[in-house]
Structure 1
Amino acid sequence: MPSLVEQFLKLKPPKFTGVGDPEAAALWIQGLEKAFALLMCFETEKVLLAVYQLEGVASTWWRTTQGVIFPEGVAPEWNAFVEAFNGKYFSETAKEIKIIEFQRLRQGSMTVDQYEAKFAELSQYAPELVENPINRGRRFRDGLKPELRSPLILLNLRNYNDFYERAQMIERDQNDRAASSESRFNSHRDNIRQGKRSMFGNKFQGPPSKKSGFNRPIPKSVGVCRFCGRRHGTTPCPARTGACFECGQQGHIARYCPKKQRGQPQLPPPPPLRQIGGYAPQNAPQGGQQRPLAQGTVYVITQGQAEAMLGVITGTVSLNDQPAYALFDS
């Protein structure tokens, strides 16, 4: 017996104090049974070694209960000890809680291996639900994630181990695909940050823009003025200021621009025009300042005067060779 105790302690079996989660009691029994199986202990030896590992309130419970469980003359048995122990520290209520937890078990964020370990741990509290191998496999399958469960349904498996192995394979394949996709995305993003061009299919495209996702060519401005239809850069429009289109100076038009007619016969300047109907012509007086606009005068004339004016316009009558616009005054 002393050698058995020495071998038992070398395995570092768990101790139990009687305080904490009821699940600790079940785990304590499981840890002891592993050591007993390795040492091939007899029923009486199992009880003696288990009692040696009780501490605190649990040790007090055993001292007060030992005579009731094993009266004088009755040899200790392991199953009788476990039944009494569970009645104290792992009640029927605690067992029911574990059964409900097993029935509601879902993989969630756990991996397949983590889910299988939790499934095996909780299933021991509800052996009647997993005694049938087919029921055990189906319960395991139904708790998996939808993306793992759907392919398994199509395979029509029946064995628990087959469900577990196929679920591992599907999960590994999905993780590899996700890692490969993330790697391509990170590579594409790095190329965009470095200003490199990436190729999709047979077309090269530039880095994505904010709206369409790819840069579009920006059309160059034609620089045509919407008032005069000509190009004069950022300078004010001559059609609006009355300046020369050739040199930009006031007082003349491009046709009579001195800059343009250098080295050519000088053309006589046009006669000064009077303001007609409130319109200011482009050839403003010399000095660069325009004449202010003035309201034209409307005359009431007789029929004879109108006929005389018509003759002047048609060229049949001449008024001392004076221009026709001299008839109008502002």
Structure 2
Amino acid sequence: MTDILEQLAERQSAGPLNQLGAQDRGEDRALERFLKFNPSKFTGEPNLEVAENWLERMTNIFSALDYIENREFNEKFLPPLIQEKREDEFIKLRQGTLSVAEYEGKFTKLSKYAPELVTNEQKRIRRFVQELNVEIQEGLAVVQISTFTEAFEKSQRVESTRMQVRDFHYKKGVFLVILLVRLVKVPPLPRWEEEWEE
């Protein structure tokens, strides 16, 4: 990623666009598109959080521009121990008590540390779906999914539907209890203090 930025910066300082060849003009357009995102400069700080936030911002920009070279950045700026820790977190990542949106956020962030596990769209989809809660996996079993975005959106729909059903059953159960109490007219419980006094 750093090499791409350096090459683009060198091209920009080479001179006006009309003096450059077709390839150079294309690279200058890429630089112009990149600069429209107003990217921040990474100063090489040892603070891991600063580095990760900068990387995430750059990744978003480069994804929009169809450039991805995260592995090079990770190897250069993140200590191997941190890289291995994040890779292990990705390998062990399960939805558990997370919402689908929270799980997707962690999945996307941590997958950058284990790109060999999600080398293409199908592997990324399969890994994402396999670690969803079983109830959501069941809802996706009959659905055709061809992109990661589809997997995420359909998982959210299944989750939303399941929550609506659960809320309906809960409200129905509360209503039935109230109805039964009114119908049966359960006598009030005796006060313990009165029994102890006798």
TM range (shorter): 0.5 to 0.7
1:141 matched residue in structure 2:
129
1:117 matched residue in structure 2:
105
Aligned-pair RMSD on alpha carbons?
3.8
Deviation at 1:110, TM superposition (A): 0.7
Seen in structure 2, the aligned counterparts of structure 1 residues 171 and 13 have a Cα distance that, compared at 3 Å, is farther
Q: Mean Cα displacement is larger for which, 122-131 or 173-182? A: 122-131
| Uncovered stretches (5+) of structure 2, i.e. residues with no partner | 1-34, 188-198
Are 1:25 and 2:51 counterparts? Answer: yes
- Structure with the higher helix share, 1 or 2: 2
Deviation at 1:137, TM superposition (A): 0.7
Deviation at 1:125, TM superposition (A): 1.5
Seen in structure 2, the aligned counterparts of structure 1 residues 130 and 37 have a Cα distance that, compared at 3 Å, is closer
Seen in structure 2, the aligned counterparts of structure 1 residues 167 and 23 have a Cα distance that, compared at 3 Å, is same
C-alpha contact (below 8 Å) 1:13/1:31 kept by paired residues: no
1:91 matched residue in structure 2:
79
Deviation at 1:151, TM superposition (A): 2.9
C-alpha contact (below 8 Å) 1:99/1:122 kept by paired residues: yes
Superposition pairs of residues 248-327 of structure 1, within 5 angstroms: none
C-alpha contact (below 8 Å) 2:140/2:158 kept by paired residues: no
Amino acid in structure 1 at the alignment position of 2:46: G
2:30 matched residue in structure 1:
none
C-alpha contact (below 8 Å) 2:90/2:111 kept by paired residues: yes
Seen in structure 2, the aligned counterparts of structure 1 residues 94 and 186 have a Cα distance that, compared at 3 Å, is same
1:101 matched residue in structure 2:
89
2:163 matched residue in structure 1:
175
Seen in structure 2, the aligned counterparts of structure 1 residues 35 and 136 have a Cα distance that, compared at 3 Å, is closer
Q: Mean Cα displacement is larger for which, 148-157 or 119-128? A: 148-157
Q: TM-score, normalised by structure 2?
A: 0.59
Are 1:185 and 2:162 counterparts? Answer: no
Deviation at 1:108, TM superposition (A): 0.4
| Uncovered stretches (5+) of structure 1, i.e. residues with no partner | 1-6, 41-78, 198-205, 210-330
Amino acid in structure 2 at the alignment position of 1:29: L
Given candidates 129, 144, 159, the residue that maps to 2:117 is 129
C-alpha contact (below 8 Å) 1:112/1:168 kept by paired residues: yes
C-alpha contact (below 8 Å) 1:25/1:86 kept by paired residues: no
Q: TM-score, normalised by structure 1?
A: 0.38
Seen in structure 2, the aligned counterparts of structure 1 residues 37 and 163 have a Cα distance that, compared at 3 Å, is closer
State the distance in 1 between where 2:79 and 2:148 align. 30
State the distance in 2 between where 1:37 and 1:173 align. 31
Seen in structure 2, the aligned counterparts of structure 1 residues 141 and 33 have a Cα distance that, compared at 3 Å, is closer
Amino acid in structure 1 at the alignment position of 2:164: D
Deviation at 1:94, TM superposition (A): 1.7
Seen in structure 2, the aligned counterparts of structure 1 residues 127 and 18 have a Cα distance that, compared at 3 Å, is same
The total of aligned residue pairs comes to 151
Seen in structure 2, the aligned counterparts of structure 1 residues 131 and 207 have a Cα distance that, compared at 3 Å, is farther
CA deviation map 1:264-287 (0-9, x unaligned): xxxxxxxxxxxxxxxxxxxxxxxx
C-alpha contact (below 8 Å) 1:15/1:28 kept by paired residues: no
State the distance in 2 between where 1:124 and 1:111 align. 21
